[in-house]
Amino acid sequence: MDMLRALFARNMALPRHHAPVLEEMTLNGIAKYIQSGKGKRILCMVGAGISTSAGIPDFRSPGSGLYHNLQKYNLPHPQAIFEMSYFKMNPQPFFTLAKELYPGEFKPTVSHYFMRFLRDKGLLLRCYTQNIDTLERVAGLTDDNLVEAHGSFHTSHCLGCQKAFPLTWMKEEIFKDNIPVCDECEGLVKPDIIFFGESLPQRFFQCIQTDFSDCDLLIIMGTSLVVQPFSSLTNRVSETTPRLLLNMERSGQTDPIMAALGLGSGMDFDSENAYRDVAWLGKCDDGCLALAELLGWKEEFEALVTAEHSRIDEELTTAKLQGATIGAHHS
């Protein structure tokens, strides 16, 4: 191996070995890095795994993931539900699924609130999310805090005349089991979530210009890191920026042989050259709590989650009671 490496290094002026940027390659090492004041412009990259504990299935987890449970829609292949050509031909499966996953029916998780907590501490540079459930917003992140890389249900557009429709209208259509149709041109109306093959929002391309070079710590949570171009963002941070993965499985890794040679562009958690990437495997909610505890913030953080969950519970109860009263008046 050393001979091979020497050969590569001689012929390609590669690879460079880096001094470790963390005291230890563990969650504790990340906590110490933040405590030392080095991690104060934190970027979070998140995916469906941060919402599974809210009851929203992800795509790819074996057994519980959406791709394993789409048989009832008789799709030619699972991804067809998010493909424009199939949607135009048969929008029903998408809207049935949209009803199941509809934003507003779920509470943000510990992981969502961890990003809000980092924001409140002045440590969050931005959250890049692949999710379309809008739970980051419910947890209190603002437009400025967020890049919704795959769009969201927030707005919808007619595929024919491009007329915009608000969330309230789309919600009503979805819950009435209607296929939403434009009142101007009778075109199909689709929530502004990005389907396979569609371009990502302008904001994504604008923000990545500076965010990743400005970032001094990258936290990646609940994503298999297989959807491009999102997954390649992990490589945009500087070579000395630590990257923490909180996930059920290792994702975003460089090929082990390439890593051993010091080559490759993914994350390197385990090779002898590993110097900045930490994988903490388990539920990301537990990972966030463990990190908060190491930082001495656990009580304060748990208090935030409890307060926000009670507030949402109260709002839901009030809304249900109002619904029941309105129902009683109408009957």
Q: Which residues are annotated as a binding site for NAD(+)?
A: 48-52, 58-60, 130-133, 223-224, 247-249, 284
Q: What residues from 215 to 254 belong to the interface with ligand CNA (CB under 6 A)? A: 222-224, 226-227, 247-249, 251
Backbone angles phi, psi at 277, to 5 degrees: -100, 130
Candidates 34, 58, 93, 139; binder of ligand CNA (CB under 6 A) is 58
110-120 helix and 284-294 helix, angle to the nearest 10 degrees? 40
Nearer to ligand CNA, 47 or 266 (CB): 47
Q: How far is CA 259 from CA 117, 179, 191, 265, in A?
A: 34, 49, 41, 9
112 flagged as catalytic: no
Only segment of 43-51, 115-123, 161-169, 172-180 that touches ligand CNA (CB under 6 A) = 43-51
Q: Which pair of tokens denotes residue 228?
A: 């491009």
| Least CB distance to ligand CNA at residue 192 (A) | 12
| Least CB distance to ligand CNA at residue 56 (A) | 4
DSSP run (H or E) holding 230: none
By CB neighbour count within 10 A (0-12 exposed, 13-18 middle, 19+ buried), where does 236 fall?
middle
> Apex CA 288: angle with CA 66 and CA 118, to 5°?
110
- 279 lies in the binding site for ligand CNA (CB under 6 A): no
HSE-CB for 96 with a 13 A CA cutoff: 14
Nearer to ligand CNA, 229 or 323 (CB): 229
| Least CB distance to ligand CNA at residue 318 (A) | 26
Only segment of 5-13, 57-65, 180-188, 291-299 that touches ligand CNA (CB under 6 A) = 57-65
- 49 lies in the binding site for ligand CNA (CB under 6 A): yes
| Least CB distance to ligand CNA at residue 110 (A) | 10
Length of the chain: 331
Nearer to ligand CNA, 148 or 216 (CB): 148
Q: What residues from 183 to 222 belong to the interface with ligand CNA (CB under 6 A)? A: 222
DSSP 3-state of 61: coil
For residues 279 and 269, is the Cβ–Cβ distance under 8 A?
yes
Q: What residues from 64 to 103 belong to the interface with ligand CNA (CB under 6 A)? A: 65-66
Q: What is the CA radius of gyration of the chain?
A: 22
Nearer to ligand CNA, 124 or 194 (CB): 194
Candidates 27, 53, 115, 277; binder of ligand CNA (CB under 6 A) is 53
Q: What residues from 103 to 132 belong to the interface with ligand CNA (CB under 6 A)? A: 130-132
Q: Which pair of tokens denotes residue 287?
A: 């990972």
**How many residues in the shown chain lie near ligand CNA by CB under 6 A?**
29
| Catalytic pick among 77, 150, 154, 330 | 150
Q: What residues from 4 to 33 belong to the interface with ligand CNA (CB under 6 A)? A: none
**What is the rounded distance in angstroms from the CA atom of residue 242 to the CA atom of residue 22?**
8
Candidates 61, 69, 96, 273; binder of ligand CNA (CB under 6 A) is 61
Give one word for 262, left, alpha or beta, with left for phi > 0 and alpha for psi -120 to 50: left
**What is the rounded distance in angstroms from the CA atom of residue 282 to the CA atom of residue 290?**
11
Q: Which DSSP category does 181 fall into?
A: B
Binding-site annotation: residue ranges for Zn(2+): 158, 161, 182, 185
Amino acid identity, residue 77?
Answer: H
Q: Which DSSP category does 161 fall into?
A: T
Contacts of 266 (CB under 8 A, 6+ apart): 234, 235, 252, 253, 254, 255, 259
Q: What residues from 131 to 170 belong to the interface with ligand CNA (CB under 6 A)? A: 131-133, 150
Which residues of the chain form contacts with ligand CNA (CB under 6 A)?
47-49, 51-53, 56, 58-61, 65-66, 130-133, 150, 222-224, 226-227, 247-249, 251, 283-284
Annotated catalytic residues are: 150
